[in-house]
Amino acid sequence: MTTLPTVFITGASSGIGATYAERFARRGHDLVLVARDKLRLDKLAERLRVENNVAVEVVQADLTQSTDLSVLETRLRDDARIGILINNAGIAQAGGFLDQSPEAIERLITLNTTALTRLAAAIAPRFAQSGTGSIVNIGSVVGFAPEFGMSIYGATKAFVLFLSQGLNFELSPKGVYVQAVLPAATRTEIWERAGIDVNTLPEVMEVAELVDAALLGFDRRELVTIPPLHVAERWDALDGARQGLLSDIRQTHAAERYRPQA
């Protein structure tokens, strides 16, 4: 019998992360659950152990703290049972750019980008060495939409998409699977935490539907999974346009329109 890989999930105390934990436990995977709220993690872990007969470990960590991140990095480097990283922990932005304090900016960018990148970087060499392993990064459709007025949050999510595409390019030849999951508005606590009443939003996906769709994409080994995107060809067109633009970047000379007029 082959042993299923252990799944390491950040932000597992609520919302999307907690739902990933439930789904992977149901599939028979052991879990490592990470977040700050140990009480909530312990409660979830106990339930998942009883319901699914899997091993669930809880690690309390604040991913904005470099010392906490170091402990997790060591674990990801050394524990060969961990074969799937769900890089999910994240916060949203309350207010526009003019409302942000330096502390809030730093917290948002550190959690949504630095922590996610450091954890991926910790586990990637072991995955590449063994020729197997999966990294799932939770982005957002806000990363496509400066028009939403969540500039810093959206920028962190654009980073997540780019990083995932880059990691896929670098690591898939070495047998490592990388998936970017891009939800739109989903019913979780992220809204309340950012001071927004989720019930005021015109359209919201339930978290179970979002995660089940993301897992279908995972099983199909999709690079980019956008559960709320109904016309898949839209993504193909966007990515095709990007590649077309790249093919027209010729760096020896400035484009005609930027040359001095005689």
Ligand X SMILES: NC(=O)c1ccc[n+]([C@@H]2O[C@H](COP(=O)([O-])OP(=O)(O)OC[C@H]3O[C@@H](n4cnc5c(N)ncnc54)[C@H](OP(=O)(O)O)[C@@H]3O)[C@@H](O)[C@H]2O)c1
Query: Which positions are annotated as active-site residues?
Result: 153
> Given the complex with ligand X, which of 3 and 97 has the nearer CB atom?
97
CA-closest candidate to residue 226, choices 150, 141, 143: 141
d(CA 76, CA 82) in angstroms, rounded, equals: 7
Min CB(41)–ligand X separation in Å: 7
Distances (CA, A) of 162 to 13, 14, 91, 226: 27, 26, 19, 15
Task: Return the residue matching tokens 């999307």.
Answer: 16
CB of 172 to ligand X, least distance (A): 23
Residue 238 CB contacts under 8 Å (≥ 6 apart), including other chains: 144
| Burial label, 235 (beta-carbon count in 10 A; 0-12, 13-18, 19+) | middle
- Which residue, 97 or 129, is less far from ligand X as judged by CB? 97
Which residues in this chain contact ligand X in the complex, by CB under 6 A? 11-17, 35-37, 61-64, 88-92, 111, 138, 140, 183, 185-186, 188-190, 193
| Nearer of residues 63 and 176 to ligand X, judged by Cβ | 63
Nearer to ligand X, 114 or 132 (CB): 114
d(CA 105, CA 50): 40
Question: What contacts 24+ positions apart, CB below 8 Å, involve 196-204?
Answer: 196/92, 196/94
Distance CA 258, CA 255 (A): 6
Give the shortest CB-15-to-ligand X separation in angstroms. Answer: 2
We find the least distance from the C-beta atom of residue 244 to ligand X, in angstroms, to be 28
Q: Under a CB-based contact definition with an 8 Å cutoff, are residues 88 and 9 in contact?
A: yes
Separation between Cα atoms, residue 21 and residue 58, nearest integer Å:
12
DSSP alpha helices (H): ranges in 172-221? Answer: 190-193, 207-219
Residue 11 beta carbon to ligand X: minimum distance, rounded to whole angstroms: 3
